[in-house]
Structure 1
Amino acid sequence: MPLPQDERIVALANDLLAVFHTLFGPHPGFRPAHAKGLMLSGTFKPAPGATALTKAPHITRASTPVTVRFSNSTGLPSIPDNAPEANPRGLAIRFNLAEHVHTDIVSHSTDGFPTRDGAQFLEFLRAALASGPDVPSPKPIEQFLGSHPAALRFVQTPKPFPSSLSRDTYFGVTAFRFINAQGESKHARYRIVPESGNDYLSEDAVAKLGADYHYEELGSRVKKGPIRFKVLVQVAAPGDVTDDATVHWPEDRKIVELGTLELTSVLEDSLVQQKHIIFDPIPRVDGIEPSADPLLELRAAIYLLSGRERRAAKA
C-alpha cells in the first residue's frame, strides 16, 4: 500500500489528520476517526452468478477467510455507544487471499459522503472546528452547510441507532469498476446488508444503553451463532455519475449479490489487531478497479499515514 505519487494528496492527507487530532485530541495507538471498534473473524462465500460481474479471486473461490472491524464515528476511543456522534457506524472487511495478499471493503452506515473531494472535506472539518458553542451565528459550519447542499443533506440524513451492529446496513462511499472474465465492466457501489434485517431503537431505548452496549452485544451474539451479512452491489446505469460520492443513484438500479459474510468469533487480541491493521479503500485486486472518484487516493493516503502513526505509538 504505497503512498500516492502526488505530493498534494499527501499534504492534504496530513492536513486532514491534523484537524482530526485537534477535533478529538491525540489518542496514540487509535485511529483519528472511527477510533472505537471491535474485530471479528469469519468466512466469505460467493453467490452463484457473481462471476458475471467480476473475476476477483474471492468471487471465483469457494470461500475466503475474512477479518472485519465494526466501529463508532469520531476519534474518541471511549465514546459511549449511545452518543449521537457515534453514528454513522463503520464496517471494514478484509478478504485474506494469501499471506500478505488481501483486498478490502470500507463502508459506513450512512449512504453517501458530505463532500465531493478532500479539499472540501478539509473546509468542512475546519468550519466545524471553528464553530464552538460561544461562536455567534451564523457559525462557520452553518455558512459552509448553507453553501454546500450535499454536505447539508448528509448531516441531515437520519442516523438511527441499531439494536445491534449486526442489524445495520453499511454502504461503500465510492464506486468501483467491476470486470468479469470476458472483459465486460460495470461501475457499482457496495451495500452490506444484515441477513436478519435492519432493527433500530427508540430514543428512550437508546438513552438507557450502556457505554459499551453495542460491542458487548456483538460479543454475546456471535457466541450464540454466526452473524451473517449479504455483500451486495448497486450497479450504475449508463450515464450515472460514478466519480462523485455525494451523488446517489436511483433505487431502481440493479442490485447484484456478491456473496455471504459469516462472522463466527471475536478476535481475542482485538485491540492489538486494530492497532496493526491498515485497511485500504482501493481494491488492488484483479477484477475490481478504482473509479475516478478523487476521494479514493486521498482516503488511502490518510489510512496509511494514520496507520503508521498507530503502529509507531508505544503500547
Structure 2
Amino acid sequence: MGDDAQRSALGRRSVLLGLAAVGAIAAVDVAGFLGAGGALTSDTLTPSRFTDGFEDVYGRHDGFRRNHAKGIAATGYFTANGAGSAISTASVFRPGRVPVTGRFSLSGGLPHGADASDTVRGLGLLFDLPKGEQWRTAMVDIPVFPDRTPDGFYERLLASNKDPATGKPDPDRMSAFLARHPETAAAMEVIRRHPHTAGFEDSTFHGLNAFHCTDAAGAVVAVRWKLLPLQTIRRSEPAAAPNYLFDALADTIASGPLHWRMLLTIGQPEDPTDDATTPWPESRDTLDVGTLTLDALQTEGPGTARDITFDPLVLPEGIAPCDDPLLSARSAVYTESFTRRSGEAKQPSAVDAAEVPDER
C-alpha cells in the first residue's frame, strides 16, 4: 500500500475515534498568563478568535475557564531527589521540598457537565520556588497531543461542534478534517492505544511539549516530562454519578496523600521538539527527579488554583521553551481566557471538596 493510501486508511479508521473523543480532547488545557509573552503564529488566528471558538462550541459560561472549565483545586509539595540537577540548573531539581498548588480538571468548556470516563483529565501545577521563581505546567492523561499546530487545533475544535439538528458532530466534517491532517489521525491512534484509567488518582499525566534543559556547564538537552502514579492502577469504569471522578478523588485523598514520580525523558537530536503529535521512542533514557505529593483539595474560590493560569512559558532558570508552536499559542490563548473570566462574575463550581458521598 502506498503512503497516500496508508494515510487515507488510517484517517478512515480514526474517524469514529475522533468523533467519540474529540469533544474531550478538542480542548486540552491551552492558555496562559499575561507576563509570559506568548503569541499565536498565524496572522489570522488571533487569541481572541481562538477563545471565541471555545465559546462557539461550548457556549459562554461567565467566570469559568474556556477550556478545562470543570475542576477542583489541590495543594501539596514536590520533593526533589537531586537527579535532575545533572541536566538542569533549575532550582526545582535541587534536593529538597517546595510547595505546589495544583488543579485537577476535565477538558472541555462545560463547567457543570457530567463526568465521563473517556474525557481527557488534566493536572495543572504551580511550583513555588526560591527567590520568587515559579514553574507552571499543564499536563493531561494522553500521551501525545492531537494537533501539531495552533491552526490545526482550531480547525479541529470547530469540526467538533455539534450539529443543532442531530446534537452530534457532523461525521463528514470531521472526516474531511482528518483527511487534511493525517498527523491528527495518527495521534488519535496513539491515544487510543493508551486507555484511561479509573480516575485522576491513578492517571499518568504527560507534559506533551518538549523543553530545553541547561546544566551548569551550559550543555543543553531536550526533555519531555510526565508523572507516574504510585497509586494502584485500576481499569476505567462507566460513570456512576455526575461528579463521580471528582468524588472518587476526594474520597481517596481523604484517606491519605497521593503521590506521583516525576520522570524526565531525554531526547536525542533526531527526536522532534516541534511536534507534540509524535511520541519519542520508548528506548530513550529517563531520569526520576522526585515525587509530587498532593494531600488536600479545595473547592475553587479566592486564594485557590481558580485564578491561576498554568502557562507553560512560566519557567525557572535552567528550563526553556523549545520550537514547538503550540507553546506560544497556549500562552496567548490562556491570556485571553484569563482576561475575560477575570472581568466576569464568579459562579459556584460544580465540584465541592466538602461534599464527598458516604458510599457509591
TM-score by length of 1: 0.90
Structural mapping, 1:1-315, within 5 Å: 1-4=35-38, 8=42, 11-82=45-116, 84=118, 87-97=119-129, 101-129=133-161, 134=166, 139-156=172-189, 157-158=191-192, 160-201=195-236, 205-207=237-239, 209-267=240-298, 269-272=299-302, 273-315=304-346
Residue equivalent to 2:32: none
Rate the CA distance shift 1:132–1:150 in 2: closer, same or farther, 3 A. Answer: farther
CA deviation string 1:139-159 (max 9, x = no partner): 121111123122123334326
1:10–1:298 CA contact under 8 A, matched in 2: no
TM-score by length of 2: 0.79
When structure 1 is superposed on structure 2, of 245-254 and 5-14 the one drifting more is: 5-14
CA deviation string 1:107-152 (max 9, x = no partner): 1111111221111211222222276665997612111112312212
Rate the CA distance shift 1:254–1:163 in 2: closer, same or farther, 3 A. Answer: same
| Distance in 2 separating the partners of 1:24 and 1:305 | 16
1:174–1:293 CA contact under 8 A, matched in 2: yes
CA deviation string 1:227-281 (max 9, x = no partner): 00011111111211111111111111111112100111113x5244343111111
| Distance in 1 separating the partners of 2:39 and 2:235 | 43
2:273–2:322 CA contact under 8 A, matched in 1: yes
Displacement of 1:98 after TM fit? 5.1
| Distance in 1 separating the partners of 2:104 and 2:245 | 10
% identity of equivalent residues: 29
Structure 2 gaps of 5+ residues are 1-34, 347-360
Q: How many residues align?
A: 308
Rate the CA distance shift 1:305–1:55 in 2: closer, same or farther, 3 A. Answer: same
When structure 1 is superposed on structure 2, of 141-150 and 131-140 the one drifting more is: 131-140
Write the letter of the residue equivalent to 2:175: E
State the secondary structure of the residue aligned to 2:82.
Answer: coil
Write the letter of the residue equivalent to 2:185: L
State the secondary structure of the residue aligned to 1:111.
Answer: coil
Structure 1 gaps of 5+ residues are none
Q: CA RMSD in A?
A: 2.4
Write the letter of the residue equivalent to 1:169: T
Rate the CA distance shift 1:94–1:24 in 2: closer, same or farther, 3 A. Answer: same
Rate the CA distance shift 1:243–1:20 in 2: closer, same or farther, 3 A. Answer: same
CA deviation string 1:26-61 (max 9, x = no partner): 011111111111111011011232210211111125
2:156–2:174 CA contact under 8 A, matched in 1: yes
2:40–2:332 CA contact under 8 A, matched in 1: no
CA deviation string 1:70-106 (max 9, x = no partner): 110110111211264xx21111111012586411111
1:38–1:270 CA contact under 8 A, matched in 2: yes
Rate the CA distance shift 1:161–1:240 in 2: closer, same or farther, 3 A. Answer: closer
State the secondary structure of the residue aligned to 1:240.
Answer: coil
